Structure 1
Amino acid sequence: MPVWGRKLLLTRPAWWLVLCLGLMPLLHLGWLTVQDGLGANPAEYLIRATGDWTLRGLCLGLAITPVRVQWGWPELARFRRLLGLLTYLYACLHLTCYVLFDMGLDLQEIAVDVLKRPFIWVGLCAWLLLSVMAATSFNRAVRWLGGMRWRALHRVVYAVAVLAVLHFWWMRSAKSNFNEVLVYALVLAALLAWRLQRAWPKRRPAA
């Protein structure tokens, strides 16, 4: 990327552009809802769509550091927190659609469903971990925890991504449809492999 392009990434309009792009799927779902375009099972459509965008957000957020390091674009780091919060927004909407539209806000039925279907409690665990990350994503939390502890805490995003893919796989296993699951799993595996390769101590050449 040319120097002027990297400078553009540091501008306020670039931040707002990323925010607007991140909210476009939500606006699209809202438009489909108003236009009665969610199909025969609106609850399933909304749950599926918000879950898909949560997974995409996780993959995009995890890809920022490899792209930033490998291509020399440190300016991308300023979008990491924004992408994380957008991902959390879609995760909350995913959970809300399940609780409100699929289960009718019946807490007893929800508890039974969570215990009966493992893929739901796996997804719930992912959401709880993501909630911790969202709650500590602000500057005050960074100062309170300290840089090292904050970074260690936020590495839990990899566990969140693994749980999210497992949640998706387990849900799709009933229909024996694993094509999309495989795509997300491969993307996540590549990102994890890059992180492990960076963390692995490099052997110094013999003197």
Structure 2
Amino acid sequence: MSSHFSSPPRPNPSGPKPARSPSAGRPHGAALFWVVTIGAWLPLLILAFDAFTGRLTVNPIQAAEQRTGDIAITLLILSLACTPLNTLLRWPAVLKVRRSLGLYAYLYAFLHFLLFIGLDYGFDAQLLLQALKEKPFILVGLAGFILLSALALTSFDYWKVRLGKNWKRLHRLTYLINLLIVLHFGWAVKGDFLRLQGDVFRPLLAGLGVILLLGLRLSPVRRALAGRLHFLLSFRKPRPRQ
């Protein structure tokens, strides 16, 4: 008679070995959580150290703004990559850090915003309004930040239950937010994308990354790539001995 507490049958050493999961060798659970946590806080500690020791550029406020903005974009794109990574690589652990990545992205976006309106413009409403008129990329970034604020504030389980189906509709704005932030980034660095002159590499890379990740969410693309990937991984399965 079998029992839930009985020892499982020993595998036949001469039989086929189970195929490795596509996510084998990647961080799981707590390990991935600590990778994300340390990776998110470390840049802020380095920025604080550089600021207090005078290691920033001759324009430290601008340097701090640019660095917090770069980190916010990076974390935002990484949060967008979680679902495609799980779909293609069968890596469910990455979904557990998706919200953390989004919240860390918002933390850096908030610091970026605070540095801009506080240290750069001294909380002067008149100067800020003038900047919005003269620099449209600020308006684009502000729109992205406001939408990101709504997602960050409603990312917790309480709002997920309270909003019901509307919660999912609201959080689909993450696609628009990524596009707005990349547009803000590319516009702010004043690169010439038509002639590929100036600082165009970083915003172009970020834009291509966002477009690729959005494309991977389309059902036909997702099914085709997942099928090809699983087909290729099937060749790694050891054949049973005759």
Structure-1-length-normalised TM-score: 0.88
Equivalent residue, structure 2, for 1:155: 172
- Structure ranking higher in helix proportion: 1
* Structure 1 unpaired stretches of 5+: 203-207
Residue 9, structure 1, aligned to residue 31, structure 2? no
Cα drift, residue 111 of structure 1: 1.5
Secondary structure of the residue aligned to 1:38 is: coil
Report the residue type matching 1:167 in the other structure.
H
Report the residue type matching 1:186 in the other structure.
L
Cα drift, residue 192 of structure 1: 1.2
Contact kept? 2:87, 2:222, Cα under 8 Å: no
Cα drift, residue 114 of structure 1: 1.4
Percent identity (aligned)? 35
Equivalent residue, structure 2, for 1:141: 159
Q: Any idea what the Cα deviations from partners look like across 1:156-182, whole Å, max 9, x if unmatched?
A: 111001001111111122674211111
Q: Distance in 2 between matches of 1:10 and 1:22?
A: 17
Contact kept? 2:72, 2:106, Cα under 8 Å: yes
> Aligned in 2, Cα 1:4/1:195: closer, same or farther, shift over 3 Å?
closer
Structure-2-length-normalised TM-score: 0.76
Larger Cα Rg: Structure 1 or Structure 2? 2
Report the residue type matching 2:215 in the other structure.
A
Q: CA RMSD in A?
A: 2.3
Q: Distance in 2 between matches of 1:47 and 1:140?
A: 32
Residue 185, structure 1, aligned to residue 207, structure 2? yes
Q: Distance in 1 between matches of 2:139 and 2:146?
A: 10
1:42-191 to structure 2, matched below 5 A, reads 42-146=60-164, 148-173=165-190, 176-191=198-213
Q: Distance in 1 between matches of 2:63 and 2:122?
A: 16
Contact kept? 2:32, 2:94, Cα under 8 Å: no
Equivalent residue, structure 1, for 2:234: none
Q: Distance in 1 between matches of 2:120 and 2:206?
A: 25
Report the number of matched residues. 199
* Structure 2 unpaired stretches of 5+: 1-19, 193-197, 225-242
Larger RCO (CA under 8 A, 6+ residues apart): 2
Cα drift, residue 195 of structure 1: 1.4
> Aligned in 2, Cα 1:201/1:153: closer, same or farther, shift over 3 Å?
farther
> Aligned in 2, Cα 1:152/1:201: closer, same or farther, shift over 3 Å?
farther
